[in-house]
Structure 1
Amino acid sequence: MTQVPTGPTSIAVLTSGGDAGGMNPAIRAVVRSAVHHGIDVYAVFEGYRGLIEGGDAIRRFDSSNVGGILQRGGTVIGTARSAEFRSRAGRRRAARNLLERGIDALVVIGGDGSLTGANLLREEWPDLLAELVDTDELHPEVAAAHPVLRLVGLVGSIDNDMFGTDMTIGADTALHRIVEALDAIDSTASSHQRSFVVEVMGRRCGYLALMASLASGANWVLIPERPPEYDDWAQLMCSVMRAGRENGRRRNLVLVAEGAQDHNGEPITVDDVKRILEQELGEDARVTILGHVQRGGAPSAFDRYLSTLLGHAAVEQLLAAGSDTSAQLVGIRGHQVVSSPLMDCVAQTHAAADRVKGQDLDGAMLLRGGSFRESFQILVTMQQAAPRPTAAGRKRFRLAVVHGGGPAPGMNTAVRAAVRLGLDRGYAVLAVRNGFRGLRDGDIREMDWMDVSGWVSSGGAELGTNRYVPAGDDVARIAEQVAAHRIDGLLMAGGWAGYAAAYALHSSGRLHRALDIPIVCLPMTINNDLPGTELTVGSDTALNSIIADVDKIKQSAVASRRCFVVEVMGHDCGYLALMSGLATGAERVYLPEEGITLDDLTLDVRALAEGFRSGKRLGLVIRSENADPVYSTGFIRALFEKEGGDLWDSREAILGHVQEGGDPSPFDRIQATRLTARCIDYLSEQLESGARASAMIGFQSGRLQFTDLTSYPKLIEADVQRPVEQRWMAQRPLARVMDVW
């Protein structure tokens, strides 16, 4: 009788292949999730080499072993190549070492090669055990107790080239490193009116080069999936560069993916591009190969969250598999965790690379996904030196862009995209200064292509913004200005007050004919508190700002046996508090959605005391600014200080408006551009068809969708500043598993 496999008795986690930012948070999540379920968990040091060596290379871990690793780059358990693992004898040793510890489940974090190797071990497992029994290296009862090896793969790769997940662990961190370097290069290039050619990683996938170009305002990009279509591509590239110079652009920036090729399949290198630019433009060009700096550094906020989410999901997948012992890849699509057959994902990944190699470029672009193709098309327009000529006789609609609410990183990026994408359609694009007050007062001017040069990377809001919401006579004055400036459509890129103002104008369309125009709201606020979307532009930058500050605070606290109470923004929404708590390893988060009670504080004090008595050196509590009207940050700090006695000191840190500042993160730049492009499409469809519908754009179930602006009042909670539905709250239990109680 065939034995039906039971659930895993012990789990091992290993990292393999190239390191990637976020591997350590994934390790931490696997360990703490297994401990939460009462399952023994082991860390395999030095990848497959450690699996073969056994001994101290396979160590039992508990929660304390993974404390303090969230913010560390690379992988604390190491990664190494192993030629021996490629042999059957090596894999047999690996199986024996695993079973010596009762391990029959693996979580492997690596690229397609690493995951393929793990699957081979899984497939051979029954035969390997039989061989070990035959050679008296394994007792038959042990083999019978562990008939299968369960396997879940997480993709740790900066290239973002794996099928089965929208984002791989490490890709966002790599984008941060690349964009930081490009921003620095931009200063030098502009100062000297110089051309720079920059090579980025990615093997045969152009994701990093494409998205970095979109986020940095690069003037040309060469990627494997979409090589130049003509033999004279060099002349075309140089003509665009030359036209940009003539229009006043001070720098030229060309990004080259390491697998870039021409339409004949011949490689295009940074040295090729440098030589062409110098010959055709007659100016100096400099080459920068970013190399392995793209892999290093502290993981970004997104990678910390993604890795934590996927590491936890990997353990849950192993526990829920039952009799299904097929290898699975756990990834993310939209904002939802998904599980897919591992080897199907590997096969699709290889298929995309093979299509690039075989010059089936349309097929390669198709496999890269819709957002990849969409981003490339947007970039083609944004990189032009000027808008394309407009067809004769086409109506020149007039679009206006306005901000509302508090400042959010990405506002300038959105205005730049709106101006250039609108002008390229042949429309006039008007910039409204000083928010809806400026619209009321007629502070409006028409924008040109080069007016927004350099805006892609700058923080703040060049047009200005405020929290003014028009009412009564002011709505009538706005209607007069809309009519006077012949505004046909309005793009509002902003936050809570901006949405309220846009709805006020939309609701007045019947009373004031000039306001019967299509209005579209683009969600931009650090608070992530708007209806019709799961995520707002600006929140990613704020999270990265918070974790950078909290990482420093943690270093200070460790040195002094101290508990810090850190207050973050968010108004009535606890998104920043919960996500920064997950990304920094905070021990407690206080949210407006839950409030704070005296019982909560009593339990928290007891937990802190128990921890510090047991030798802990750091306490970290994150409080959302409106978590409770009585139990303020200062109150909680004073309480902890009093109760800490000689065990620990307490300090408070109110991060304040630094969370709204800084240059936008790559994610916020990319999403601001993509969302703006969809908004311009929406307004264009309305105007070209003669319709007058208004809407809010947003991420829903991971996809960009429009929601009728008329439904705005039904989607927000009464008396508080947050939407009725907040899907991110589904991660509250995850925080508790990660010891964020």
Structure 2
Amino acid sequence: MPSRIGVLTSGGDAQGMNAAVRAIVRAAIHRGAEVFAIREGWLGAVEGGANIARMGWSDVSGILNKGGTIIGTARCVAFRDEGGRRRAVRNLIQQGIDHVIVIGGDGSLTGSALLRAEWPAHVEQLLGSGDITPEQAESHPVLHIVGLVGSIDNDMVGTDMTIGTDSALHRITEAIDAISSTAESHQRTFIVEVMGRNCGYLALMSAVAGGADYAFLPEVPPRDGWEDRLVELLARGRAAGRRDSIVIVAEGAADRHGSPITAQGIQQAIAERTGEAARITILGHVQRGGRPSAYDRWMATACGVEAVNQILAAEADTEPVLVGVRRDAVAWQPLLEAVDETRGIADHIRNGNYLQAVQARGAGFTTMIDIYRGITEAKASKEERAGAKRIAIMNAGALAPGMNQLARVAVRSGIDMGYQVFAIQGGVPGLVEGKFSQWSWSDVEGMAHTGGADIGTRRYVPQDTDLYAMARQLEEHRIDALLVMGGFHAYATVRMLESERRRYPAFDIPIAVVPASIDNNLPGWPMAVGADTALNTVVDAIDMVRMSASASRRAFIVETMGRGCGFLPLVGGIAAGAEKSYLPELGITLSELEEDIAALVDAFDTGRNFYLAVIGEDASEHYTTDVLRRLFEAEGGGKFTVRQSVIGHMQQGGTPSPFDRINATRLAHNAMVHLDKQLAGGTAHYSAASREAPGLFAPFRDVTDQMDWDKQRPREQWWMNLRPVFLQLSRRPGQQ
């Protein structure tokens, strides 16, 4: 008898749960297992009957773009009682289920671990009462549990991101962006309350992404007198040129005496001290709603597949595990260890151990608090010294969403450190022509949520004839260090400067380069600024394409950008539920197309109404998007129509995603810290962003040794590890 796996979603819903359910069902079927949905969480297990239903391949078609959970969730009071848990054991065993994948928060996962510990005792009692047979008792002696964290709060230790967090940040930043425009029009203060009882992740990261003035976090209660401090900071922001003020408060925020800090309390404090009637927006369950983001789709998909791998490999003495992500790779750890560490943070907050609470959230959380304070104070922590050194910043290469946030944070971080910061307008040609301008704190106001690149950029690598002019301009403007932000052209430019620094002493200064490219084709850093926004654009476009085809039998071929790099077509294909993805790394062969056409025709012959293929723009010189469309339509024999959609430069436009804003903040600040250390130490190294390096920057040559310069992509691409996930979920077993 094949293994039977139960899957349930429990506790509060989170965007991306459906992606995990889909992945679990299809990966299990590929492994020869049977999958049963336990509807309405543990309540469905307690009540049994129709609440435990077998799931097939097609049962999870078309659910990737849906919020919530199609198998339902509920809080189950009966499951807290031993008798209720025993009924759940009986119902599961009667269905032949002793493997359960639980998607929920720490409460749901704790209850699941408790059930596993009690399982043998329940089996013994059910056998004695005649509710199960001796054969059933012998066949199901142990319950195997694997957990996935579905929680918008990102409050679980053991995974970098929980399912639903990124989508919730999308909802929050969209609201802050909209509020900012009306607040700016009327010079008003808005107070925005976000979710997060014991975790300030949403409040902190949405404040960073939205360019808010102040944030109240459960882990960092303000000291007494916070009301005056808040008003002072808001006044400094207005004096620095802000027309609006945004304050973010987590629902679980409190002062150091444990008294709640509410939106109404903040409003009253501002009114008493300034006479201003601040407006309140409580986002509430809007944060849980809407379509899941691209990240929540592909991340939940990859975790769902790994959950199946883990549960089918479990043995009698295997402890429950939690599957999550660390550094963009699927990872797992003991479930009870993760739950205990998570609950320990709430204890730290309750006991006033705030430093321990922050540290338990991880180094990234701690660092982002410090960065946020530095770029929102509207007052430099170091006064600009007479004859202060000068740091220039410039973009190079194609436009990437998030470049403005890079510039904003670089300017403010540099000023905060006591430097003069100059922007070079128009990329490399601007450097050649000497288009330098000094930027102040207020010059970058409002840039956090804007697309484009206000200081300009050009897809241009300097020629030998440009080098003298570039060196002369750096000398004339007395530039002591340079930050270059961009894609392949930025790295190629810095590579050229490094090779010529002996000929041109002006190039013998500290230079740092950070990745900003929708193609995500750069070494050293897993996600270039702009790549996540482009990925969301791809997924949004495919969602609309899918809807346009809902009333007909149609196949679509969607072309993404990416040049020689397959990040967008592969990860976009996973997030959008494509049946096929054509990558430049692998090319396209005629034999492959023959197999794909057979699968395409078979899909429509067996009841499909929609088929999706995603292709990278440089996947093949000969088998282009139009050629594929013609081939598919010719072989379809009129059974379906085929359309193509080239997304094009929309992938470079639009408002940067929260992830790209946060990523840009981290990169730009750390780049300025790195340049500051070099200037203080009298060194002049060339460096590039590197996740593996202390301080997140490594020698430029060490990073670019990982670059395939001819193909314009890294030699090792982490997302190619997701291809087996794609292959498992895109074509059902037995399909031609």
Q: Which TM class, normalised by the smaller chain length? A: over 0.9
Contact 1:387 1:449 in 2 (8 A): no
Q: CA deviation at 1:392?
A: 5.8
Is the CA contact 1:8–1:318 (under 8 Å) kept in the aligned structure 2? no
TM-superposed deviation, 1:472: 1.1
Distance 1:220 1:29, change over 3 A: same
Question: Contact 1:19–1:157 (CA<8 Å) still a contact in 2?
Answer: yes
Match of 2:3 in 1: 9
For residue 158 of structure 2, what is the aligned residue in structure 1? 164
CA distance in 1, matches of 2:640, 2:565: 30
Alpha carbons of 1:581 and 1:445: their partners in 2 closer, same or farther (altered >3 Å)?
Answer: same
Report if aligned partners of 1:493, 1:521 keep a CA contact under 8 Å in 2.
yes
Partner of 1:588: 580
Instruction: Note the 1:404-415 alignment, pairs <5 A.
Output: 404-415=396-407
Q: How far apart are residue 711 of structure 1 and its match?
A: 3.9
Q: Of the candidates 615, 622, 635, which is equivalent to residue 623 of structure 1?
A: 615
CA distance in 1, matches of 2:287, 2:347: 25
What is the distance in 1 between the residues matched to 2:731 and 2:188? 49
Shift of 1:258: 0.5
Question: In structure 2, what is the equivalent of residue 385 of structure 1?
Answer: 378
Q: Which residue of 1 aligns with 2:183?
A: 189
Percent identity of the aligned residues? 48
Instruction: Map 1:718-737 onto structure 2 (within 5 A).
Output: 718-737=709-728
Alignment check: 8 A CA contact 1:589 1:740 kept: no
- Deviation, 1:614, is 0.8
- Matched residue, 1:23: 17
Paired amino acid for 1:586: A
- Aligned-pair Cα RMSD in Å: 1.5
Name the SS for the 2:346 alignment partner: helix
Helix, strand or coil for the counterpart of 1:699?
coil
Instruction: Give the secondary structure class of the aligned counterpart of 2:520.
Output: coil
Q: Where does 1:517-528 land on structure 2 (aligned, <5 Å)? A: 517-528=509-520
Instruction: Say whether 1:50 aligns with 2:41.
Output: no
Distance (Å, rounded) in 2 between the aligned partners of 1:146 and 1:134: 15
Give SS of 2:393's match.
Answer: strand
Further displaced range: 70-79 or 241-250: 241-250
Name the counterpart of 2:114. 120
Name the residue aligned to 1:708: 699
Evaluate the alpha carbon distance shift between residue 632 and residue 737 of structure 1 in structure 2; reply closer, same or farther with a 3 A threshold. same
2:480 to 479, 488, 499: 488
Matches of 2:138 and 2:251 in 1, distance apart? Answer: 49
Give the TM-score taking structure 1 as reference length.
0.97
For residues 237-636 of structure 1, the aligned pairs below 5 Å read 237-390=230-383, 396-636=388-628
Report the alpha carbon displacement of residue 8 of structure 1 after superposing the two structures with TM: 8.1
Aligned counterpart, 1:64? 58
Distance, in Å, in 1 between the alignment partners of 2:490 and 2:225 is 47
**Which stretch has the larger CA shift, 627-636 or 257-266?**
257-266
The letter for the 2-side match of 1:375 is: M
Deviation at 1:459, TM superposition (A): 0.4
**1:261-312 Cα deviation digits (max 9, x unpaired):** 1122211110011111122222231000000000000000010011001111
In the alignment, structure 1 residue 673 sits paired with structure 2 residue 665: yes
Residue 418 of structure 1: CA displacement? 0.4
Q: Deviation at 1:167?
A: 0.7
What per-residue deviation string (whole Å, max 9, x for no partner) do you get for residues 130-170 of structure 1?
11110111111211111100000111001111111111110
Q: Distance in 2 between matches of 1:431 and 1:178?
A: 31
Q: So what's the TM-score if we normalise by structure 2?
A: 0.98
Write the distance in 2 (CA, Å) between the matches of 1:730 and 1:528.
15
Distance 1:186 1:361 in 2: 31
Q: Unpaired runs of 5+ in structure 1?
A: 1-6
Verify the 8 A CA contact 1:149 1:325 in the aligned structure 2.
no
For residues 153 and 517 of structure 1, the distance between their equivalents in structure 2, rounded to whole angstroms, comes to 50
Measured after TM superposition, the shift of residue 710 of structure 1 is: 2.5
1:444–1:646 CA distance, 2 compared to 1 (3 A):
same
Q: Distance in 1 between matches of 2:356 and 2:95?
A: 46
Amino acid at match of 2:326: R
Letter paired with 1:661: G
SS at structure 1 position matched to 2:705: helix
Using a 3 Å threshold, how does the CA distance of structure 1 residues 197 and 310 change in structure 2: closer, same or farther? same
Q: Distance in 1 between matches of 2:347 and 2:637?
A: 65
Give 3-state SS (helix, strand or coil) of 1:445's partner.
Answer: strand
Kindly state the Cα deviation for residue 715 of structure 1 after the two structures are TM-superposed: 2.3
Kept after mapping to 2: 8 A contact 1:398/1:487:
yes
CA distance in 2, matches of 1:525, 1:95: 51
How far residue 740 of structure 1 moved from its aligned partner, in angstroms, is 5.7
CA deviation after TM superposition for structure 1 residue 179, in Å: 0.4
Unaligned runs of 5+ in 2: none
8 Å contact 1:697–1:704 — kept in the other structure? no
1:385 Cα shift? 2.1
- Judged with a 3 Å threshold, the aligned counterparts in structure 2 of structure 1 residues 700 and 321 are, in CA distance, closer, same or farther, namely farther
Q: CA deviation at 1:700?
A: 4.8
Aligned to 2:656: 664
1:3 matched to which residue of 2? none
Residue number in structure 1 paired with 2:101: 107
Which one-letter code corresponds to 1:684 in the other structure?
A: D
Q: Name the SS for the 2:620 alignment partner.
A: coil
* Secondary structure, aligned partner of 1:147: coil
